[in-house]
Chains A and B, each alone.
Chain A
Amino acid sequence: MNSLASPSAAPARAKRHLPAFLSHPSVVVGGFLVLAIVLMAMAAPLLGTVDPTRIDPGMRLKPPSELAWFGTDLFGRDVYSRAVYGARSSILIGLCVATAALLIGVTVGLVTGYFRWVDAIVMRVMDGLMAIPTFLLAIALVSLTRASIGTVVVALTIPEIPRVVRLVRSVVLTVREEPFVEAAISVGTSTPKILVRHILPTTYAPLMVLGTYICASAILIEAGLSFLGTGLPPEIPSWGNMISEGRTFFQVAPRLVFLPSLFLALTVLGINLLGDGLRDTLDPRIAKRM
């Protein structure tokens, strides 16, 4: 009977927030930016692009023209097409890392927050992971294997997990003492059911906010890795790869660096604004927990 109460409570709360959500300027601007980039990534073949991997030695480092709107790069590839297609890798990586980090982090966080004896061990491991600078850990992880989207996702997910675990754990620690949890225990609800039906929904709001930040940070770190030459393989069009290849010719053709940089900055800006707006509207207290 308790189990009936919480699922209906969650949508009700979401509905109440919906107007506040959409009227917040950060959410509107950020949401618009993110939507535009996602649409651009999905509709990439329709946006006047050519094959972003097509190499044309006769067209090397050409300035912008009607054929290539932002000119061509060292291998004669169309810069505009590569930048548009680059949105696909960034968004894919951002989403995958955020989803994976949230799923793993939530599972570990729920268990550690609820069972005190696991807590001490797991949190020490998490502290240790957090002590290693995110970027260095990701770089070291990605250098373990051949570069591919999969390895980059794994390498970016691992350093983000401790942040999720900490957040979920802190929510669980406060919620598990609440009367509704005690009530659930007293009527004999099984522990997994308490965790999933009663405690898990209280973490949704802060997790949504953290998820957007993880997504933004993953996109930034991927670009940084690719920039250093340790990220995605060079044949995959990605903003980091483009900046990395373009930097050699920066003095001759700064557009090679600037166009992907602009897309990258706008995407991350959009996601961050969205996150800030969600944080303000969903729960002002979240800001302090992070």
Chain B
Amino acid sequence: MLSFVARRVLGLVPVILVVSIVVFLLLRLSPGDPAIVIAGDNADAATIERIRSSLGLDQPLVTQFFIWAGSLLQGDLGISIFSNIPVADLILQRLEPTASLAVTTLVFAILIAVPLGTIAGATAGSWLDRGLMLVSVLGFSVPVFVLGYCLIYVFSLQLRILPVQGFASISDGIGPFLSSIALPTVTLGLAYLVLIARITRASVLEMMGEDFIRTARAKGVKERLVVTRHALRNAAIPILTVIGIGVALLISGVVVIETVFNIPGVGRLVVDAILKRDYPVIQGVILMFSGV
């Protein structure tokens, strides 16, 4: 077991290395020169040169990479070129809304998807099953921001029961927190929900044909228990795998959804950083998300 864990961890090293090289090159090779941007419009060549050397941008590329990777290993993600705040701090400041959204989305999606997928799988061919499959194709096809605007339109503009945009921290009270995070959670969770529901259905359906299900039925186990205790439990591994894979899906959604609902999270941070070409921030956020 220990050697298995060790091998898996060692196997991650080349992946992390490739990710960091890609992220580093990607942003260092881009044409925008942050030194010129920071120096402003009226700066002379000497000022630009001074800023460039203070940022280490005048070093050869390979040297820059090793300096960057070295400090990275010490947990130093660098300093934002624009706000002069360490990137790690910037991310930490913005982490709460994003983390809250991720957790509520996970809980929401799993709580609905697993029972729904299980019932659909156990009653394959029923109207519920067909309905779920239809909704799941829709869920994959509707972009998160479109869904977000539809929900805002119905619940915030027409029914007026939920706030349009913004984020309330959980420390502001559970009521405002839940009402501000409800729409983003549902929006972000739908694609994730249908993904999990689909896999749950397929995996339960596969188990329902196994011999041990027939045995369980033959010895008189109630159908409900056959499905939950016997089929679902054995179907758990693919479901857990897809819950893990789906986290990557969530991340893409988070970036967009934070713009739709005006949530000051990490996604918003990276979009702003990209528009300003703030390399260290972009690198830090991509590395953090890739690590997840």
Interface residues of A (CB under 8 A from B): 124-125, 127-129, 131-137, 139-141, 143-145, 216, 220-221, 223-224, 227-230, 243, 247, 250-251, 254, 257-258, 261, 264-265, 268-269, 272-273, 276
Top 8 closest pairs, chain A to chain B, by CB: A128-B18, A135-B252, A269-B141, A261-B146, A144-B30, A268-B141, A124-B14, A133-B251
Interface residues of B (CB under 8 A from A): 14-19, 21-23, 26-27, 29-31, 137-138, 140-146, 149-150, 152-153, 157, 164, 248, 251-252, 255-256, 259-260, 270-271, 274-275, 277, 282, 285-286, 289-290
Q: Which residues of A contact B23 (CB under 8 A)?
A: 132, 140
A selection of 18 A-B contacts at a CB cut-off of 8 Å is A125-B18, A128-B15, A128-B18, A132-B22, A132-B23, A133-B248, A133-B286, A140-B23, A144-B30, A220-B143, A224-B143, A250-B149, A258-B149, A258-B153, A265-B142, A265-B146, A269-B137, A276-B137
| Contact yes or no, B18 A124, CB < 8 A | yes
| Contact yes or no, A261 B275, CB < 8 A | no
| Contact yes or no, A272 B274, CB < 8 A | no
| Contact yes or no, A144 B26, CB < 8 A | yes
| Contact yes or no, B141 A272, CB < 8 A | yes
Cα distance, A127 to B8, chains bound together (Å):
14
Taking a contact as CB atoms closer than 8 A, the residue among A125, A127, A132 that contacts B286 in the complex is A132
Cα distance, A238 to B19, chains bound together (Å):
32
| Contact yes or no, A145 B289, CB < 8 A | no
| Contact yes or no, A228 B31, CB < 8 A | no
Shortest CB-to-CB span from B209 to chain A, Å, is: 15
Cα distance, A228 to B256, chains bound together (Å):
7
Cα distance, A183 to B100, chains bound together (Å):
59
| Contact yes or no, A272 B137, CB < 8 A | yes
Given the known inter-chain contacts A124-B15, A131-B19, please indicate yes or no for A243 contacting B275, CB distance below 8 A: no
Shortest CB-to-CB span from A138 to chain B, Å, is: 9
| Contact yes or no, B18 A129, CB < 8 A | yes
Q: Which residue of B lies closest to A271 (CB)?
A: B141
Cα distance, A272 to B135, chains bound together (Å):
13
| Contact yes or no, A254 B18, CB < 8 A | no
Shortest CB-to-CB span from A167 to chain B, Å, is: 16
Q: Which residues of B contact A124 (CB under 8 A)?
A: 14-15, 18
| Contact yes or no, A268 B143, CB < 8 A | yes
Taking a contact as CB atoms closer than 8 A, the residue among B271, B286, B289 that contacts A228 in the complex is B271
| Contact yes or no, B29 A224, CB < 8 A | no
Cα distance, A258 to B137, chains bound together (Å):
20
List 14 extra interface pairs beyond A128-B18, A264-B146, A268-B143, CB under 8 A: A128-B14, A128-B16, A128-B19, A131-B15, A131-B19, A132-B22, A133-B252, A135-B256, A136-B286, A144-B31, A145-B31, A243-B145, A265-B143, A273-B137
